[in-house]
Amino acid sequence: MRKWILSVIVTVIATATALFTTTKAQMPTAQPDGSFYDLQTTSLTGKPAPLSAYKGKVTLVVNTASKCGYTPQYAGLQKLHDEMKDKGFSVLGFPSNDFGGQEPGAAEEIATFCQRNYGVTFPMFSKLVTKAGPEQSPIYTYLGGTGHLPAWNFSKYVIGKDGRVRAFFPSKVAPDDPVLRKAIAEALAS
């Protein structure tokens, strides 16, 4: 019971923080060395997935969760992916159980949930840790080098064709938000 109450308090504080965060693009305060596309990861099916496959494309990196109030954003992310995939763009989903334990499932459960409920076809990768610390994924170590780490599920990074972080958006910024779409369009034009 005590653990549940603590979880509810953490969820309420994080949600309130996300609600009062600005919706404008948050530009990197620093740029980490190298390129996002130099990193390696694993697909949701367990196969090696070098991010170099996306070099020359613009990507939207999102930390996802299946049991979050923002989970319906999967529909908008899929729509965005479908609409722009032929323009050199891709959404990249990185499941994480860091916030409120809202992604407890194994890889197969996550894949089934995303496909069945939201028709997700954009690339999804193995569950990882976004929070700073010894368990943090190298992907989020790199992204955090910009001065921005997710405060909750469905935070978004626009990555340019060169693998550099162009902008960061908090969870409340939906996939159809004009400011997010503008940042993607600008990255595609450069």
Place of tokens 């620093």: 30
**Does the pLDDT of residue 19 top 70, yes or no?**
no
More confident residue, 10 or 166: 166
Place of tokens 């994924």: 137
Q: How far apart are CA 84 and CA 154, in angstroms?
A: 19
What's residue 3's pLDDT?
55
Q: Per-residue confidence at 5, pLDDT binned at 50, 70, 90?
A: low
pLDDT tens-digit series, residues 79-109: 999 999 999 999 999 999 999 999 999 999 9
Name the residue type at position 1: M
Per-residue tokens: 85: 């995939």
pLDDT tens-digit series, residues 55-82: 999 999 999 999 999 999 999 999 999 9
CATH class of 2-189: alpha beta
Please state, for a pLDDT cut of 90, what percent of the chain lies above it.
82
Q: How far apart are CA 29 and CA 38, in angstroms?
A: 21
- What phi-psi label fits residue 106: left (phi over 0), alpha (psi between -120 and 50 degrees) or beta? beta
Per-residue tokens: 74: 């999967």
What's residue 24's pLDDT?
63
pLDDT tens-digit series, residues 131-171: 999 999 999 999 999 999 999 999 999 999 999 999 999 99
What's residue 26's pLDDT?
82
For the question of residue 153 being annotated catalytic, the response is no
Domain boundaries, the chain: 2-189
> Rounded to whole angstroms, what are the CA distances from 43 to 27, 127, 189?
28, 9, 28
Place of tokens 């032929």: 86
Among candidate residues 63, 97, 117, 153, the one labeled active-site is 117
